[in-house]
Amino acid sequence: MTYPKPTIAVDLALITVLNGALHCLLIERSDALAVGGAWALPGGFVHEDTSVEDTAKRILQDKANMPDAYLEQLCTYGAVGRDPRQRVISITHFALLPATQLLAAARGKSDVTLAQITTNWQGEDGGAAQAISEHLGPLDLAFDHADILGDVVKRLRGKLDYTAIGLELLPEYFTLRDAQEVHEAILGRSLTKPAFRRKLLDRDLIKPTGRREAASAFRPAELYTRTPLDKE
């Protein structure tokens, strides 16, 4: 007896913080009418001789030119009809990257954009997200990618209080102001500066480098780096 075989895919949400807000990289679809939207997360099919994890890493390399980054499996989306063309089950992942990396990936490409992720819900309630391009306005997302982006935001908010996941969005050296900006972007609300910084330092998640940022309009702030994993 033979059984129909659904297609397995990986969709990858490439996430960063830019101008104080969460952003994601989106690809313009040439088949918008067939897939229900003009813009989508980068993705690819899982080949018979390739693991799901290697497929996610391949997409990361192809779309962001990065061989490595914080990469986490999010969820499996298998609703019937999620892809109008054929039966596709997607094992979704998200990657957290510094803004410079995704800006470089989108530069000079008319079919690639960095869009701001917004939600109309608070905390960890969950729900679909919206993607808004600075130049194009609200974007029509294909498939169930609005739900996927909402689930990414919910996952990040849920892990922010007990892990160092927010620091994965920062470069190697950063200021306390940078760290607070990332956490506020994920949470979608402002944080009290003294309380946030005290909590971050008390948890031994970061350590001072003894260096200061390049000259700015204000007194250059001290630079920090992540505490090695064996000390977390």
Q: Which residues fall within 8 angstroms of residue 229, CB to CB, at 6 or more apart?
A: none
In 3D space, the residue among 144, 166, 148 whose CA is nearest the CA of residue 156 turns out to be 166
Q: CA separation (Å) from 121 to 105, 124, 130, 153, 187? A: 30, 8, 11, 11, 11
Cα(40)–Cα(137) distance, integer angstroms? 15
Encoding tokens for residue 20?
């104080």
Write down the pLDDT at residue 112: 92
Q: What mean pLDDT comes out for the span 191-209?
A: 92
Angle of helix 176-187 relative to helix 193-202, nearest 10 degrees, comes to 100
* Predicted structure pTM score: 0.91
Name the band, by pLDDT with cuts 50, 70 and 90, for residue 59. very high
Q: What mean pLDDT comes out for the span 79-89?
A: 92
- Residue tagged 């972007």 (tokens): 185
Q: What mean pLDDT comes out for the span 163-168?
A: 94
Write down the pLDDT at residue 116: 97
For the chain, give the mean pLDDT: 91
